[in-house]
Amino acid sequence: MIEVNNKEKLDWFEGMTVQDVLDKMGYIYPRITVSVNDQLVNKEDYATYKVPDNARVNVFHLAHGG
């Protein structure tokens, strides 16, 4: 089990990547910053960065306009 933004719980699976977390959460907004256990993850690593079990994942969305 992992926790996203100190709120949502997601079932963990072997090999789970940051991209998997974003897909599961439906996070498609382009201006996000991701950290896994307080470690910043670069955009180009989303698809390869492995999320360990019990991780705290933070996906920070910047506000948009209007």
For binding to other proteins (CB under 8 A), which residues are involved?
5-7, 19, 26-31, 33, 40, 44-48, 58-66
Closest separation in Å from C-beta 2 to other proteins: 15
Question: Distance (Å, rounded) from C-alpha 38 to C-alpha 56?
Answer: 8
**Cβ distance 65 to 38 under 8 Å?**
no
At closest approach, how far in Å is the CB of 32 from other proteins?
Answer: 9
Least distance (Å) from other proteins to the CB of residue 59?
A: 7
Cα angle value 10/11/13 (rounded, 5°) = 130
Q: Which is nearer to other proteins, 10 or 45 (CB)?
A: 45
